[in-house]
Amino acid sequence: MKTFNPDAMGEKLLRRLAGGTSRRGILSRLGLALVAAPAFPLLPVSRASAAKPDRSPEAKTNFARNAQSTDDTKCTYWRYCAIDGSLCSCCGGALNRCPPGAEHSPVSWVGTCINPDDGRAYLIAYRDCCGKTYCNKCDCDGTDRETQLYVPQLNNDVIWCFGTTSMEYHCSTAVLVGTA
């Protein structure tokens, strides 16, 4: 499966970020974070399997086999394969929008989730909504391809409220970035 491609993820996210923020501080620190990226080895698994994406049920995780595309207030909604926290769609916001008064973080961690309707893998940016206290409704913890702190862009425990006026975590959205 073409599930891991940190380079492509980085590029897509950077393009989105470039159009979405003007905060110098966060950009310089993000720039530093990305400078480190070429030092990361390209994963054999992503390279070897990139040519032939395997979308068969046998290749899908337990989450992907049971995912649905109709109710985005449930943890089983397909885009939530690597989300962690309260769903903004249960907190007055939407799948990809913050609740009133909360602020979208310009950066995020990412997941690669399979849409059950077309069988394609999509890159999802889990952008935290910040500046209000924890919503604590519809708490989900998708762990598909979720890793540990030393790969922060694939770790869903980090409070991703960088570049926002407050780092208080409220809830998480699942923004579709493109095909993975």
Partner 1 sequence: MMKVQGKSSLSARARYTAAAVCALTLLGGAPAAQAADPLQPDPELEAVTLSAPKPSWVFVERGFVVPGNTIYDTDTGKMLGQVETSHLSDLSLDPAGKVYYVAESIWSKGSRGTRQDMITVYDAATLKLKSEIVMPGRILIGGRKFNFVIGEAGKTAYVYNLDPASSVNVIDLVKGKFVKKIELPGCASLMPVDGVGFSALCSDGSLATVKTAGAKPEIVRSAPFFSATNDPIFDNFGFNGPKQEAVFLTYTGQVYTAKLGATPTISEPFSIQAAAGVTPADTKPLDVYWYPGARQGLALHSASGLAYVLMHTGEYWTHKEPGTEIWVLDVAAKKVTKRIPLEEPAATIAVTQEAAPKLVLGIEDGTLLILDAKTGAEKFKLEKSAGGVLRTLEP
Shortest spacing between CB 101 and partner 1, in angstroms: 12
Q: Which is nearer to partner 1, 65 or 70 (CB)?
A: 65
Q: Is there a catalytic annotation at residue 128? A: yes
- Say whether residue 166 binds partner 1 (CB under 8 A): yes
| Nearest residue (CB) to partner 1, 20 versus 70 | 20
Q: Do 95 and 85 form a contact (C-beta atoms < 8 A)?
A: no
Place of tokens 């604590």: 136
Catalytic site includes residue 160: no
Binding mask 40-79 for partner 1 (x = CB under 8 A): xx-x-x------------xxxxxxxx--------------
* C-alpha to C-alpha distance for 56 and 7, rounded to whole angstroms: 25
Residue type, 158: V
C-alpha to C-alpha distance for 77 and 98, rounded to whole angstroms: 18
In this structure, what token pair is assigned to residue 156? 């869903």
Rule CB under 8 A: is residue 36 a binding residue for partner 1?
A: yes
Check binding of 22 to partner 1 (CB under 8 A): no
Q: Is 144 in the site for partner 1 (CB under 8 A)?
A: yes
Which of 128, 141, 144, 157 does the annotation list as catalytic? 128
Task: By CB under 8 A, tell whether 131 contacts partner 1.
Answer: yes
- Classify strands 109-114 and 128-130 as parallel, antiparallel or unpaired: unpaired
DSSP string computed for 29-92: HHHHHHHTGGGSPPPHHHHHHTTS---SGGGS-HHHHT-BSS-TTSTTBGGGTT-EEEBGGGTT
Residues that bind partner 1 (CB under 8 A): 4, 6, 26, 29-33, 35-36, 39-41, 43, 45, 58-65, 107, 131-134, 136, 141, 143-152, 154, 157-162, 165-169
Q: Would you please indicate which residues are annotated as catalytic (active-site) residues?
A: 109, 128
